Amino acid sequence: MMKDRVVSVLSNTKVADGIFEMVVHSEDFPELIVGGQFIHIALPSLAHPLRRPFCIANFDMSAKTITVEYAVVGEGTEILSRVENGTELKALFPLGNGFSLDADYKTIALVGGGMGVAVLPAIPTTWQDKDYHSFLGFATASKAVLVDELSKSGKVYIATDDGSLGEKGFVTSLLASKLAMIKPDAILCCGPEIMYKSLARELEGMDIPVFISLERRMGCGVGACLVCNCKVKTPKGDKYLRACVDGPVFPMKEVIL
């Protein structure tokens, strides 16, 4: 059975310009969480009834905590940013398929763009025996998050649009420039769709499996309401699948970007 849980907020702090990190705890904790899954949080506001889906940035099975990183982009996240420690929130987790790593994938390139980097730390937490290389892209240095966290799991390469941190330019170009050296068995990626298009161009002609996590406005989060549709190639032709239960992770070659 699936269940709706109540989590209590342990911390909710600003970690970069307009970006917050929230850690929540629940004694009633699931037995399994994998990187790439998400948590669907109800806001403490009757006027804002839709839950907000956030990727599980990290988790701790023994402490029974989930970490979420979010940018304040609208009314909902603004309300969330003012939630105080100890507040109890309804939350559905873990939802979605998450990433799936074959045993023979040894070297993994993690690629994040903007808030998409928030998906990445839970991956080394889930699969600890891999060799990770993280490629993080931000608009500017003041928007950079999770750099230290990802440094614990391997080398981190950074690109910013304005060159204020790391290299100036696109993170996808930075990744492309290091591919021959790193030779990743798989690339796991989360960011805006324009980044996936750029990644697809950079990797053209190469045979590296790429898995991407899609972001959608979401309703129920459990597969019933069909609002989080993503167009995906299937044996029956191009179909709208649900980001919440069929995804949010898909092989990039199957997604119609």
Judge whether 96 and 36 are in contact, CB under 8 Å: yes
51 near another protein, rule: CB under 8 A: yes
The CB-of-48 to another protein minimum distance in angstroms stands at 6
Nearer to another protein, 63 or 73 (CB): 73
Measured CA to CA, the distance from residue 54 to residue 198 in angstroms comes to 24
233 near another protein, rule: CB under 8 A: no
| CB within 8 Å of 154: residues ≥ 6 apart | 124, 131, 132, 133, 134
Strands 58-60 and 65-71: antiparallel
Measured CA to CA, the distance from residue 216 to residue 96 in angstroms comes to 12
Identity of the amino acid at 127: W
Nearer to another protein, 33 or 228 (CB): 228
44 near another protein, rule: CB under 8 A: no
227 near another protein, rule: CB under 8 A: yes
* Contact string (CB under 8 A) for another protein, positions 69-88, x = contact: ------xx------------
Nearer to another protein, 152 or 217 (CB): 217
Tell me the two tokens of residue 115: 């808030």
Residue appearing with tokens 């699931």 = 30
For another protein, the binding residue among 167, 222, 233, 254 (CB under 8 A) is 222
Q: How many CB atoms lie within 10 A of CB 34?
A: 20
Nearer to another protein, 152 or 231 (CB): 231
Task: Tell me the window of 5-13, 21-29, 43-51, 144-152 that interacts with another protein (CB under 8 A).
Answer: 43-51
Measured CA to CA, the distance from residue 222 to residue 64 in angstroms comes to 22
Measured CA to CA, the distance from residue 140 to residue 179 in angstroms comes to 24
Nearer to another protein, 203 or 212 (CB): 212
50 near another protein, rule: CB under 8 A: yes
Interacting residue ranges for another protein, rule: CB under 8 A: 1-4, 42, 46-51, 75-76, 90, 92, 216-220, 222-230, 239-240, 245
